[in-house]
Structure 1
Amino acid sequence: MKYLFFITTIVLMLSACNKSANNEKVLQNQIDSLQSKLDKTYKPGFGEFMSSVQVHHNKLWFAGINQNWKLADFEVNEIQENLNGIKQYCRDRSETQYLPMIDPALDNIRKTIQQQNSTAFKEGYINLTNTCNTCHQTTKHEFNMITVPSLPPYSNQDFKLHHEK
């Protein structure tokens, strides 16, 4: 009777070990499959983020000079969101490490927007633009010179503030 119990116990243990090994294989296959899908998932590139920053930089100017402070605040936040996207998705790019140099200029322009100070806004905007160009020079992208815009990026957006009635 002892032998029968001993043999039954060994058979059950071996069966459990075999199931565990099969479960590990199944789980590892699922992990590998998910990793393969993740590796192929779309991820915006550095240039796509920067193109978006450029559009919002342009729109920020027209919002600010038209004293549309809500829109100006929105555009600064859009710039920040894109810079955060670069930090999250483009860690492999050496340029990413220089993005914090823009933070003081963004903080300054935010303050001018909160103060609704047109003169300080223009100065802060020029400082932000110059900081962008300093970053481009530092990262060997000096060929990409940003300026204060002369035309809005889109002809279908009104940057003037329209008061609600």
Structure 2
Amino acid sequence: MKLSITTALIFIITLFSCRQSGNNLALQQKVDSLQHQLAATYKPGFGEFMSGIQVHHAKLWFAGKNQNWKLADFEIKEIEEALAGIQQYCTDRPESKSIGMLDGAIDSLNRAIEQKNMAQFKSGYLLLTATCNNCHRSTAHEFNVITIPVNPPFTNQDFKAP
């Protein structure tokens, strides 16, 4: 009797182990499939983020110049969002470590926009532009020089405050 109970227990344990092993294999296959799908998912590159920042940098200038503070606030937030995207998606790029250089200039512009202070806005914008160029120099991208825009990047947008 003891032998048959022991044999039955061994059989049940073996059956359970085989079943568990099959479940583990199925789960591992699902994990592998999801990892493959995730690896193939589009992630914006450093250049896409920088191009977006350049557009928002230009639009920010024309919004501030026209004292369209709501638009200026929107544009500075877009720049901040792109910088956060760089830190999230471009961790493999050494340049990502330098993004913090812009914090002071961004803070200065946020205060100027909040206070609707044109002199402070211009000063903050010059600081942002100079800091962008300093960052480019420190990351061996000195050939990429940012300037205060002369013409709006888009002709189909009115930068005057409504």
Task: Write out aligned runs for 1:112-123 (5 A).
Answer: 112-123=112-123
Gapped regions of structure 1 (runs ≥ 5): none
Which residue matches 2:131? Answer: 131
Where do 4+ consecutive residues of structure 1 move more than 4 Å? none
Q: Does 2:30 align with 1:30?
A: yes
Task: Determine helix, strand or coil for the equivalent of 2:144.
Answer: coil
Q: Distance in 1 between matches of 2:67 and 2:44?
A: 32
Which residue matches 1:160? Answer: 160
* Deviation per residue, 1:13-36 (Å, 9 max, x gap): 100011111111111111111111
* Deviation per residue, 1:30-68 (Å, 9 max, x gap): 111111111111000000000000000000000001000
Gapped regions of structure 2 (runs ≥ 5): none
Task: Determine helix, strand or coil for the equivalent of 1:154.
Answer: coil
Q: Distance in 1 between matches of 2:113 and 2:7?
A: 80
Counterpart code for 2:7: I
Task: Write out aligned runs for 1:12-51 (5 A).
Answer: 12-51=12-51
Q: Does 2:71 align with 1:68?
A: no
Task: Write out aligned runs for 1:36-115 (5 A).
Answer: 36-115=36-115
Q: Distance in 2 between matches of 1:130 and 1:5?
A: 82
Q: Distance in 1 between matches of 2:7 and 2:153?
A: 80
Task: Write out aligned runs for 1:137-152 (5 A).
Answer: 137-152=137-152
Task: Determine helix, strand or coil for the equivalent of 1:41.
Answer: coil
- Displacement, 1:2? 2.2
TM-score (norm 2): 0.98
